[in-house]
Each structure stands twice: as C-alpha cells, then as structure tokens.
Structure 1
Amino acid sequence: MPAACRRSSRRASTWPVCCATGPPTSARDRSCSRPGTEAGGRTLAVRPGAVPNLLSLVRVGLVPVLVVTLTRSGPEARALAGLVFLVACVTDFLDGWLARRRASTTALGQFLDPLADKLVVAAVLIMLAAQSLEPRVPAWMVVLIVVRELAVTGLRGIASTGGVLVPAQELGKYKTIFQMFAIEALLLHYRYPIPGTQLAIDFHAAGMLFLWMALVLAVWSGVDYHVRILRRVRLD
C-alpha cells in the first residue's frame, strides 16, 4: 500500500464511529468528533455534585410517600413503608459515598443532605407516635429525638455562618445507625415467624431496643456537640 494511503487510513481510524468514513465534513460530524458530545453538539458531561444532590431530593420526595403509607394499617402497608424507608437509607448512603469519592461536596449538598435526613426521620417518628396501633411508640421519646435533631441542625447552621465549623463525631454516626435500625424495625412492627422453627421475630420489641440506644446516643452527642461549639466560640 502506498505511504499516502497508509497515512490516510490511519487518520480515518482515529475518528469516532459516526465519522468513520473520514474527517468530519458537516456540523454533525464535527460535533461528533469532540469528546463528551453527541450529535447536535449537546454536552453529555454531568456536574460532579448533581447526582448526590439529586439523591437527596429523591429522599425528600419519599417523605410524603412514607406519610401516606403509614396512614394505612396491616402488615402489607407496614412492609411497604419499611421498603420505602430502606430505599431512603440507600440513597442517603449513596449520596454521601458519591460526594466523598468524587470530592464533589457543594454548598447545596451540605444543605440538602441533612435536611432530607431530618425530614425523613422526623416524619416517620411522628407518624409512628401518632398511631393507635398497639404497642405504641412513646411520644416523649420521639419529641426528645426530634428536638435534638432540630437543635443540633440549627446550631450547626448558626455556627457555620460565623465561620465556626465543628466536624461530626463518632457518637452522632452511631446514633444515626441505631436510629435507622430502630425506624426500620418499628415500621415492620409485627411478629413474623421464622420458617422451619417455632421462633418469631418481634420487630416492635427490636425496634424499641434500638430506639432506646438511639435516644441515649442522641442526647449524649447533642450535649457533646453544644459543648464543643461553645469551646470553639470562646477560642475564636
């Protein structure tokens, strides 16, 4: 093969599939030849912080779904509520993981993520306490947990506006874990037999155990957070 033909074939092989016949000769071909674009010149790139923020918005959108589901009674409705809450927990994990992995934490994300968490937790706990299904979730426990969440979130926002940043502590992370297990179990509520045995899982009893652990850690971590904020303010 002549050298000129070899050079021409090498040049043609470097163009994308949509321009495989040779160098781009039209607007469509030129847009196709640019990385990250498709025909018509539309950019395919997604901003790094868009996906985590979208997941937070999905979590906010699940709040009314949970509320409506909890207005119904029966094991099927509770199982559906448990499934919806599980989806909310998965989106919570994913948006945090993606934000850390891509180093794409944004101001909007820092606002949306905790807001979505607080809305989901507060809505579900309030609905559980308001129901007449026996045995009931004590309203005073729900009030303490919700007030703690609002107080810490409000204090964090006020402190951040003054340039005082206090990182999350391990106590708060453990509280969140126990809280998620508690809510999931309380949503399922009923006793479910274990197949092949004479045993059964009492989800309400398990949920109350986790809720007590979450309550202790919520109060402990809340007091600790307020103390650390006051220390930082005095030092500054």
Structure 2
Amino acid sequence: MIWNIPIGLTWMRIALIPLFTILFYLPKHWIEPQTINIAAAAIFAIAGITDWLDGFLARHWKQTSDFGAFLDPVADKLMVAVALILLVKLDRTLAIYAMIIIGREITISALREWMAQMGKRNSVAVAYVGKLKTAAQMAAIFLLLLDTLPSSTINLHDIGNLLMFIASILTIWSMFYYLKMAWKEFQ
C-alpha cells in the first residue's frame, strides 16, 4: 500500500466518520444540541474539503494510484451514507431521499467496477450531472446537519430538504445517464 499525503487525507476522512457519528450519541447533558449540530456540520465540511484537496494534491504532485482511486470514493460514500442515515434517524429528512442516494451510489459503484473489469471504465466516468448531484447533496446534508442557527431567520431545515429533493432528482437522472452510457458498450 502506498502512503502519501493524498491517501493520508482520505484515511483521515474515514477516521472522522466514527467521531461524526458519536456526536449524536453523546449523553444529552454533555453538549448542547446546537453545539453538536455545528460540530457535525464542521466535520462534514472538513471531509468535503479534504475530498477535494486529496484529489487536487494527488494530481498536482502526480501521486495518483489505483489504491487511492479505490479508497477515495469509498470514503466519500461512507461519509454520505452515515450522514444520511443519521439525518433520517433525527427526522431531519425523508428516508426516501436516503434510499435513492445510497441505492444509486451502490448501483453506480458496482457498475463502475464491472466496467473497469471489462476495461471500459471511461464509459462511466464522472459526468457534469454527477457533479451537480454531488454539489446539491453536499449542500443539503451540511444545512440539515446545522438544522437551525440561534437568532437566524433563515430556515435551514426547509432549504436543506429542498436541496435534498433536487439532489434526489439529479441522483436518479445521473444514474440513468451512467446506465445509458454503459448500455452503449453492450450493443
């Protein structure tokens, strides 16, 4: 296994997942709920920033590797899945959104693995609709983790769920786009 800063950042993202999760299971009298929300949103934001940073550094320093290409999306999918499950448990978003997003991630990850085994991974490379989906999804999760801010008139809960709805639509759209691209390889 290759060790470098980009892979270290990816491992750090994975290590943040238990810390992120534990926040919501601490005894209620230890930390104020709003502090938990802010800390969880901050951890999620750090994970998002390091996701961008590890890819940038790997390309910039020419430290890309097959292991890094495998581990990076795993770290992303784990953090998003855990965040979505927690948000559903906290009754901050609908379970259908989590099912759509997690189901799509599993489906497309499996499709990419299958296409890679056939030597056709580029036929399901990340497309613009996938990037839009990710942006909406990350913004939605961040806002739903914050949930409310003291003395704020902005309804983060409603905005987060609107973005989650948009992310779910984009998730379905991107899944069909990738399936269509893969289908062309079989004809």
Q: Could you state the TM-score of these two structures normalised by the residue count of structure 2?
A: 0.90
Count residues in correspondence.
179
Higher relative contact order (CA 8 A, sep 6+): 2
Output the amino acid matched with 2:178: Y
Whole-Å separation in 2 of the counterparts to 1:94 and 1:107? 17
Q: AA paired with 1:149?
A: E
- The amino acid of 1:177's aligned partner reads A
> 1:178, 1:213 within 8 Å by CA — same for their partners in 2?
yes
Displacement, 1:233? 3.1
The aligned residue for residue 147 of structure 1 is: 103
Is the Cα–Cα contact under 8 Å of residues 193 and 201 in structure 1 kept in the other structure? Answer: no
Residues 173-188 of structure 1 mapped to structure 2, 5 A cutoff:
173-188=131-146
List gaps (5 residues or longer) in structure 1: 1-46, 195-199
Partner of 2:180: 227
Give the Cα separation in 2 of the matches to 1:225 and 1:71.
37
> Take 2:17 and 2:103, find their aligned partners in 1: how far apart are those partners?
19
- After TM superposition, give the deviation of residue 191 of structure 1 in Å: 4.5
> Could you tell me whether the CA contact under 8 Å between 1:172 and 1:218 is conserved in 2?
yes
Q: Take 1:50 and 1:69, find their aligned partners in 2: how far apart are those partners?
A: 29
Q: Residue 207 of structure 1 aligns with which residue?
A: 160
Contact map agreement 1:192 1:201 (CA 8 A) in 2: no
Counterparts of residues 8-19 of structure 1 (less than 5 Å)? none
Match of 1:14 in 2: none
Indicate the RMSD between aligned Cα atoms, in angstroms.
1.5
**What does residue 36 of structure 1 align with?**
none
Find the residue that maps to 2:154 and give its secondary structure: strand
Say whether the 8 Å CA contact 1:79–1:188 is kept in structure 2.
yes
Are 2:4 and 1:50 aligned? yes
Q: Give the CA deviation at 1:208.
A: 0.7
Aligned-partner SS, 1:193: coil
Distance in 2 between the 1:209 and 1:129 partners?
A: 15
The aligned counterpart of 2:55 is 96
> What is the Cα deviation at residue 71 of structure 1?
2.6
Which structure 2 residues correspond to residues 40-79 of structure 1 after superposition, within 5 A? Answer: 50-72=4-26, 74-79=33-38
Q: Which amino acid aligns with 2:117?
A: T
CA distance in 2, matches of 1:188, 1:149: 24
- Asked if 1:115 is matched to 2:74, the reply is yes
| Offset of residue 193 of structure 1 | 2.6
Please tell me whether the aligned partners of residues 192 and 202 of structure 1 are also in contact (alpha carbons under 8 angstroms): no
Tell whether the 8 Å contact from 2:37 to 2:145 is kept in structure 1 after alignment. Answer: yes
Shift of 1:212: 1.1
Query: 145, 148, 156: which one pairs with 1:190?
Result: 148
Percent of matched pairs sharing the same residue: 33
- Aligned structure 1 segments of 4 or more residues deviating by more than 2 angstroms: 70-73, 191-194
| Cα deviation code 1:178-207 (max 9, x no counterpart) | 11100000000014434xxxxx12111111
Residue 127 of structure 1 and its aligned partner are, at CA, apart by: 1.0
1:105 maps to: 64
**2:109 maps to amino acid:** T
| Runs of 5+ consecutive residues of structure 2 not aligned to the other structure | none
Cα offsets for 1:52-88 (capped at 9, x unmatched): 1111111111111111112356111111101111110
Structure 2 Cα separation of the partners of residues 189 and 89 of structure 1: 18
